[in-house]
Each structure stands twice: as structure tokens, then as C-alpha cells.
Amino acid sequence: MLMRDPQAVVGRRVEELDTPALLVDLDAFEHNLALMARFFAGRPSHLRPHTKTHKCPAIAHRQLAAGARGVTCAKVGEAEALAADGIDDILIANQVVGPIKIARLIALAGRARLTVAVDDAANIAELDRAARAAQVTLSVLVEVDIGMGRCGVQPGQAALTLAQQVAGCRGLHLAGIMGYEGHLVFTLDPEERRTRVEQALAPLLETKSLLERYGLPVETVSGGGTGTYDVTGSYPGMTEVQAGSYIFVDARYRQVRPEFRPALTLLTMVISRTQPGLLITDAGLKALSTEFGLPEVLGIPGAALKPLSEEHGKIALADPAACALRPGDKLQILPSHCCTTVNLHDVFYAVRGGLVEEVWPITGRGRCQ
Amino acid sequence: MLMRDPQAVVGRRVEELDTPALLVDLDAFEHNLALMARFFAGRPSHLRPHTKTHKCPAIAHRQLAAGARGVTCAKVGEAEALAADGIDDILIANQVVGPIKIARLIALAGRARLTVAVDDAANIAELDRAARAAQVTLSVLVEVDIGMGRCGVQPGQAALTLAQQVAGCRGLHLAGIMGYEGHLVFTLDPEERRTRVEQALAPLLETKSLLERYGLPVETVSGGGTGTYDVTGSYPGMTEVQAGSYIFVDARYRQVRPEFRPALTLLTMVISRTQPGLLITDAGLKALSTEFGLPEVLGIPGAALKPLSEEHGKIALADPAACALRPGDKLQILPSHCCTTVNLHDVFYAVRGGLVEEVWPITGRGRCQ
């Protein structure tokens, strides 16, 4: 039974799926895909969707077909999973450090066009040595910290110093710079968000100008997320936006980005109802993430999840008499954080009109190395 | 590279492992295994360890070899993974509901001795029909709610009614009753814990007596967890304790159970240090769970994790000058919740004296169905 074939449910009704199961509403998904494609269609900047959200080559191929310029991921393991499915222009928007990971990176560089972020001189030297030894050329973006306080060097001189080092490495190609305004993606007020994002991007683009004054070409200036795609994608000089969550939009992003439609839900089943006011379901912390707050119960007015157990959800009903659900009945939950919820599952069930149209393996699931 | 063989690192030094990687300290693990075995050796009650903690048949086999009476799990999928590795006495301490799951349960019942929990008359009838159709007999525990307010019927008459129904089902064997004092497992004060646990167990054992007065045999009274194993395992009439976390003991359980040793850590790597007071690591929410609070940084006095990103940890240093770690250096993190952290990974690296002795696949990972 370990090898049950998920594809066997294609054509079945959603209610016939075993639970918990991740559902992708294809109409909402295609709305999101098309809306983002339209936004970038008339602009000098490009979409390079972050695949950390879905970890799924089937979705990445659809994003590329809709006009995306390559894809983004966070780990070498995710890049391996994408390349194994024929995706060949991959930005690892993260530092790749140490001999084991660099060996994997270089092995992969023979099979896909890879770009990585750097923010450390010793790491640059190590990447260069490995690339030269394997006779490959690795593209590199110097990461600039534009206020998030995570990875990246400071704008200006520190970035210039690293860019000059990269430019002097025969195994590396200086592709440009990168900065992520991750501290601003959930700013609720659109005007405040625009103002703060533009303030954050200004030093990134000044760094681009500085590098160019020193004769270093900067083809790529990459950054942005779903919360900031419109501001960042319109900002003069930005060439790429790494938005990921737009494709699903969870309970949290829905507040920031109402133009996208929630496309990802979890199908769960009532397994116990011994108290009229409580539904116990089969989806707990091993099926839904909660770091962005509790997921939302769909379709039952006034119903709310209580803190999750590992394998149980507990839904408090506002009006027990109005809810006829019994053990065996199914309902849907809107995740509060799509990216970490997806990482708990192995497949998406892509549904339309209540039927399963396709099953998409999440081949990047768990690939945190 | 998707098919890298994790076993290839057996014999290597821990520092040579790719990161993030889950480490099991074999000395601490064996201490925990032996301590729990000694506790139950002289008692009428038995340990039936909950495998939700490790989801790993290699560990389950060691628990059985140390004297455990079968194992516990939460989902049919976990039971399938255990049975596929030759484990044949499995309690699914949860309701198994609906035709798809019951069909899987019945198929598995031909290959392993299975027991399931019930708390609903319609579910009992459905289990019975399926068992009779397949000509198997399924063992059943009536679940009693002893204060957690999750699954289970009320003690006394409600439990008796279900037990009588089960006893009248030709496809089912009434094995006994079950109650989980999950709301008490983290009670910090030992005396308060003992008092409250005994108060919670009393109605469970009164229910046992009630069933027996009605001529229903109650071989099994199952319950308990790591936080309560000593009280529950000593309580007259309890026959089984379902403790799971004792085998690892995380940052939270360590406060309740100092007699066990933390045996599970996450090896992570510094990937960026552009600010002296901050280490950025490669382990975020996709490698560590945080619903029980932030994990603990080991080996760096005064260092503390800040809220995790998806793929980054951010460690604030109390004394930056005293910490020489640079990108590429590795350190260990003590998870705050072992069970949900394990569910993010595919293998354990079992280590002793700084060397990898074995690699154990986490075959139950992600099996939330």
C-alpha cells in the first residue's frame, strides 16, 4: 500500500479523495497565472517565480509557458528536483556554501543554467575554484541587504568590493545584484507599502549604478515578492521579480493581495463529533502550518479552528444545530501559509468543477538541503 | 542527484554531513530506551510506544527489542509504513473513518494485528461490515474522553453503549478502552501532574469496571504519554502506555522529564554572517517546527534563534566577538517539538563519538492519510 498510485484518482470527484489532501482550484490558479503574466507582459522587468511555494515542476512548467523568465528556488535540492524535470534556467536565491553543496551545485551546472547569490568573499573564492576545476561557468548575483537584515552585504562599497572579486574570477560570471524586501511584503496599506518598498529599492539601484561606474555590467537586478510585485516590478532598473505565493494566495496574503484568488485548500474529513459544538478532523500540524496563524475553515459560517494537535484539527462551531457534518463528511480549509503547508505533502490534486483533472507530484518537498 | 544514497555517509564524521540533517545521539537514545524499559519491566502495565514521534521502523524495532508490547501510531498510512517493515502489532490510536481508509485498514489487517479506536456508532457499524466482508477480525478500543475534549465519548454509559455495540459485531473484537490525558502531559509541577492525571484516569477505570459488570471483558486499558508515563503506568488497571517523545525528548519535554536525555538535534550550517552579531543558517521552518516555541541553539552561550524564515535561521549572538563561526561552519539546534520536526525530514543520522553509525529512513514521514 506504500506505493498507491496518486494518478489513479484522475477523473474522480473531489469528495472521493482520501484525506487530508491538498487541492488546487484550477480556475483560481489559472486566474493567478494569467493576472501575473499580464502584469509583466508590458514591462521591462520579468517574472522569475519562486518555486519554494509549490516545489512542483508541473507548476513551474506552467509558469514558464505563461511567460516567466526562468524560475527561482532556495536550495540546491530544489534546483536538482526542477532540473530533473527539464527546467533549465534556475536562480538559487540563496548562498550555496561548503564543499558538499558546492559539489552538487557544480554537478548540476552541467545540466542547467544556474545562478546563485553570494555575500561572502571566501564563498566566492570557493565557488570559483570548484567551477574552474569542473570547467563550468557559474552565474552569480551579489546579494545586497536592503533592510531585511538577513543575508546580503550593505549597499554601496561592500557590494562593489564583492562584485569586483566576482568579476575577477574565471569560473564565475557576474550576472548582477539581488535584494529582497522581505520585511515589507506584508505591509497592509498599499500606499505605505509603495513608499517603503521604493525607499528600500533605491540603494539597490544606486549600487547597480555604482558597479556600472566601475565598469561592471549589471544585466540582472532581482528581488521582490508577491506582496511587492507591482511596486518592485515597475521600479526603474529592476529586471526580475521573484514572487511565489501569488500562484496560490493563502489566508495571510489574501489580505495584502485581493486581486489574486485563493487557489490552494486542504480537503479534510470529520473523524469525530461527540460534542455538538466541535468537529474533530484529520488534519493537524502534520498537514497544515500555523506560524502565520490558524488556517480558515471554509463553507461553515462562524466556524473556527482551535490550536492544532499533531494529527487532529478541532473546529469550534458558532451554530452547532446548523452544521450537519458527521464523521466521514469532508470540508475544506484555507491554509494560513501556503509555502510551509505544501512542504508537508507529496502531491497536489488539481481540480475543476468538482473533478480531479490532474495530480502533480511535489518533487521538491522536503528538499531543504 | 535526486537519488543520492543516504547510507553512503555511514562511518563519516558528523561534520561531513550535508545540512540541515537530523542527528540522533545514540548514547542518549539508548539511555532513554533503557530507562523506559526499566520502568515498565517490573510493572503490570506495558509500554506501547507511539511512533508518531519518529515515524521510523528502525526505531520501532529497537523499542520492541527493548520490551515494548507492540507500537502505537495515529494514521493508517503510518501503520502501512510500519507493517511494510515487518512490525505486526499496531494500535492506531485514532478513529479510522470513511470507505477509503477503512478499505486500506482492512487490507492491512490481513498482514498485521491491528487495533483501532472508535467513538461513533455509525463508524463501528461500517468497520464491522468491512471486516466481515473481508473475513477478518478487527480489534477495537472504545475511546473515552478523559478531559482533553478531542475524540472519545464520555466515561460511563456512553462508553458502555458503544462497547455493547462492538461486542455484538462479528467482525470486531472488543479489546478494551482507551483515554488520553493529553491536556495534562505538560503540567510542570510533578505533584500537581500526579494529582490531575489520577483524577483524569479514575473515570476511565470506572468505565472499565462498568463494562465488566455488564459482562464485557476489558483486556486493554490504553493511554498516557511521555509527560505522564510514570503516573499512568503505575495506575491500577492501566495496561498500556502510549509514550512517544521519551525516545528523543525535545526542548519542551526536557522541562517536564529531566530523567531522559535530549537525543535529537538538527545539524545546520552558517551560510551568511555579514553582521557580526547575527549568524544566518540554512535551517528554517521547512527544517524545524516552532509551534512549541523557538528551538534552542546548542554550544554557543547566550545565542538565541529569532523567528524563522522558511529556509533561514537567524541566530542572535550575545557575544559576537566570542563566536568565530563563519559561513560553512556547522552547529546543532535542539528542536522544540521533536514529532513535527521529524515529519519534515526523510532520514535520521544515528551518531556516536562524532561518527555516523547508521542511517534510518523515516518511512512514515508525511503519511497523514
- Full set of structural domains in chain B with CATH: 7-22+259-361 (2.40.37.20), 43-247 (3.20.20.10)
Q: How far is B152 from chain A (nearest CA, A)?
A: 7
Q: Indicate yes or no: CB of B369 within 8 angstroms of CB of A283.
A: no
pLDDT, residue A264, reads 98
CB B298 within 8 A of CB B334: yes
Q: What is the pLDDT along chain A (369 residues), one digit of tens a residue?
A: 344 788 899 999 999 999 999 999 999 999 999 999 999 998 999 999 999 999 999 999 999 999 999 999 999 999 999 999 999 999 999 999 999 999 999 999 989 999 999 999 999 999 999 999 999 999 999 999 999 999 999 999 999 999 999 999 999 999 999 999 999 999 999 999 999 999 999 999 999 999 999 999 999 999 999 999 999 999 999 999 999 999 999 999 999 999 999 999 999 999 999 999 999 999 999 999 999 999 999 999 999 999 999 999 999 999 999 999 999 999 999 999 999 999 999 999 999 999 999 999 999 999 999
Of A97, A104, A368, the CB nearest to B286: A368
Element at B99 (helix H, strand E): helix B99-109
pLDDT, residue A1, reads 38
Work out the angle at residue A296's Cα, subtended by the Cα atoms of residues A292 and A297, and round it to the nearest 5 degrees: 155
**CB distance from B117 to chain A under 8 Å?**
no
**CB distance from A2 to chain B under 8 Å?**
yes
**CB distance from A5 to chain B under 8 Å?**
no
Could you tell me what percent of chain B has a pLDDT over 90? 98
Using CA of residue A61, residue A62, residue A65, residue A66, what is the dihedral sign? negative
- A31 burial type by CB count under 10 A (0-12 exposed, 13-18 middle, 19+ buried): middle
Q: How many CB atoms lie within 10 A of CB A299?
A: 11
Which residues partner with A355 through β-bridges?
A13, A352
Q: Indicate yes or no: CB of B289 within 8 angstroms of CB of A285.
A: yes
Chain B contact set for A242 (CB, 8 A): none
- Residue B207 to residue B201: CA distance in whole angstroms: 10
Q: Indicate yes or no: CB of A1 within 8 angstroms of CB of B107.
A: yes
A162: helix, coil or strand? helix
Using CA of residue B134, residue B135, residue B139, residue B142, what is the dihedral sign? positive
Chain B contact set for A73 (CB, 8 A): none
Region B223-244: mean pLDDT is 98
Q: Indicate yes or no: CB of A149 within 8 angstroms of CB of B278.
A: yes
pLDDT, residue A203, reads 98
Q: What is the pLDDT of residues B8-25, one digit of tens each?
A: 999 999 999 999 999 999
CB A287 within 8 A of CB A345: yes
- Residue A42 to residue A30: CA distance in whole angstroms: 19
Q: What is the pLDDT of residues B255-295, one digit of tens each?
A: 999 999 999 999 999 999 999 999 999 999 999 999 999 99
- Residue A103 to residue A40: CA distance in whole angstroms: 35
Q: What is the ipTM of this complex?
A: 0.96
Chain B contact set for A81 (CB, 8 A): 2
Chain A contact set for B122 (CB, 8 A): 326-328
Which residues partner with B295 through β-bridges?
none
pLDDT, residue B5, reads 85
- Residue to mutate among A282, A338, A341, with most B CBs inside 10 A, is A282
Alpha-carbon dihedral A276, A278, A283, A285, rounded to 10 degrees: -160
Distance of CA B187 to CAs A133, A277, A314, Å? 58, 27, 21
Q: How far is A75 from chain B (nearest CA, A)?
A: 8
pLDDT, residue A110, reads 87
- Residue B114 to residue B133: CA distance in whole angstroms: 17
Q: Indicate yes or no: CB of A368 within 8 angstroms of CB of B74.
A: no
CB pairs < 8 Å spanning A and B:
198
Residue type, position A278, single letter: L
Cα end-to-end distance, chain B, whole Å: 28
- Residue B290 to residue B295: CA distance in whole angstroms: 7
Chain B contact set for A307 (CB, 8 A): 291
Q: Indicate yes or no: CB of B272 within 8 angstroms of CB of A326.
A: no
CB A227 within 8 A of CB A186: yes
Chain B contact set for A94 (CB, 8 A): 271, 311-312
**CB distance from B127 to chain A under 8 Å?**
no
**CB distance from A183 to chain B under 8 Å?**
no
A174-205: b or e for each residue (b if 16 or more CB lie within 10 Å)?
Answer: bbbbbbbbbebbbbeeeeebbebbbebbebbb
Q: Indicate yes or no: CB of A344 within 8 angstroms of CB of B366.
A: yes
Of A97, A340, A363, the CB nearest to B271: A97
Chain B contact set for A12 (CB, 8 A): none
Of B95, B269, B272, the CB nearest to A119: B272
Report, in angstroms and rounded to the nearest whole number, the Rg of chain A calculated over CA atoms.
22
Task: Identify which of A29, A50, A53 has the alpha carbon closest to the alpha carbon of residue A365.
Answer: A53
Region B41-56: mean pLDDT is 97
Q: Which three cell numbers stand for residue A154?
A: 550593505
Chain A contact set for B271 (CB, 8 A): 94-95, 97, 151
Max distance between CA atoms of chain A, in angstroms, equals: 73
**CB distance from A313 to chain B under 8 Å?**
no
- Residue to mutate among B55, B101, B271, B359, with most A CBs inside 10 A, is B271
Region B334-344: mean pLDDT is 98
